[in-house]
Structure 1
């Protein structure tokens, strides 16, 4: 049996080849992945370190885009819960509007946890790494990822309520650079990367902060 090979890409969940309507870039991602089949060493986890290119027309369309809500400055790591719950309250009307515009299609909903439960779960884990999974049938590492994805998707769906084109990079810069939830994700990654457990370190490296957003870690 040949060793497994994987290409880790810095794109949004559901966009494994980057942005839509960019065939040349998508082909490059695909060929990079297929190229791994030529290697005989392994297992292989290779990083794809390029971001989706943005055309001049897209730049013009994106000019001036901002989150539909003026969120307060992110709070410190000492008070994640109140900061995130305040952001959720402010974003909820835009989330509802986006859901209506998308005819009920939603990005979140990976878990049955409500927003209060998700935030409590994630914050509790940063304070006690030995807590049990709060999603039945899932390991703690998997449960944390699903809960985090649900929270991030809520933010992204709310931000999509404002008209205009948004690139993955633009949305990521907003989430990781201007929200308390983004600070929480950075903190979770930091804690996991310091773990003695290899699987936990891998989860921290791949699940919470895309490669293109690592610049926000350096700014914290």
Structure 2
């Protein structure tokens, strides 16, 4: 709500919302007085349409996994410091240790379906939460380390430059060719990669999420 990493401004937005309760009649629909700049008509990053990994391009998954694990380790200090600085974190939806997230994703890339460690949550819904946690971990670490709050920059770094982004794009490629209908569907609905606001549907999909 409001600008990222700007608690003072976010409180301003919340106060404006609470002020609506003082209206003598309702319902009330009122625009916020400030205009928050949005890049290219979006509130966040979206993958370029042509950034698509093919299954034939994935290569050695174990090597890629090792590279992601090394990245995760290198970001740990910045993540912990950022969490302490903000007093909160968005990581934790999967309820899995951060160091276990890459391996869970890699198992799907290898064509496996690992058991979910959580009762009542099956493997594929858990996969979505794992991807979200890994993305959040990288984002929070980079935001603190380099004092960045531009989600276009953060998104480009994660999805186009990091090994973790490469791993998830490999997951997307494998999922689109999977016989598992649910796995294909969560990819086509942009629940794994941020393609929902791209310029067009992912090549080879039914675009059911559009």
Using the size of structure 1 for normalisation, the TM-score is 0.59
Match of 1:83 among 59, 63, 67: 67
Secondary structure of 2:90 counterpart? coil
Q: 1:117 to 1:164 in 2, by over 3 A?
A: closer
Aligned twin of 1:171? 154
Tell me if the contact between 2:94 and 2:130 (Cα under 8 Å) persists in the aligned partners. Answer: yes
Query: How far did 1:184 drift?
Result: 0.9
Tell me if the contact between 1:194 and 1:201 (Cα under 8 Å) persists in the aligned partners. Answer: yes
Runs of 4+ in 1 over 6 A off after TM superposition: none
Aligned twin of 2:176? 193
Structure possessing the higher radius of gyration over alpha carbons: 2
Aligned twin of 2:94? 111
Q: 1:213 to 1:172 in 2, by over 3 A?
A: farther
Aligned twin of 1:51? 42
Q: Please give the residue correspondences for 1:20-59 in structure 2 after superposition, counting only pairs within 5 Å.
A: 50-52=41-43
Query: How far did 1:165 drift?
Result: 4.4
Aligned twin of 2:79? 95
Query: How far did 1:77 drift?
Result: 4.7
Query: How far did 1:167 drift?
Result: 1.9
Match of 1:138 among 121, 139, 142: 121
Query: Matched residues in 1 for 2:33 and 2:179: separation?
Result: 41
Query: How far did 1:85 drift?
Result: 1.2
Query: Matched residues in 2 for 1:196 and 1:85: separation?
Result: 28
Match of 1:121 among 101, 104, 126: 104
Tell me if the contact between 1:185 and 1:209 (Cα under 8 Å) persists in the aligned partners. Answer: yes
Question: Could you list the runs of 5+ residues in structure 1 that have no partner in the other structure?
Answer: 1-13, 15-19, 27-48, 54-74
Query: How far did 1:52 drift?
Result: 2.8
Secondary structure of 2:92 counterpart? coil
Query: Matched residues in 2 for 1:93 and 1:181: separation?
Result: 17
Aligned twin of 1:183? 166
Match of 1:208 among 186, 189, 192: 192
Question: Could you list the runs of 5+ residues in structure 2 that have no partner in the other structure?
Answer: 5-9, 14-30, 45-57, 204-210
If asked which structure has higher relative contact order (CA below 8 Å, sep 6+), I would say 2
Q: CA offsets per residue over residues 137-189 of structure 1, 9 Å max, x none?
A: 11221010111111111111101113544222111100011111000111111
Tell me if the contact between 2:111 and 2:174 (Cα under 8 Å) persists in the aligned partners. Answer: no
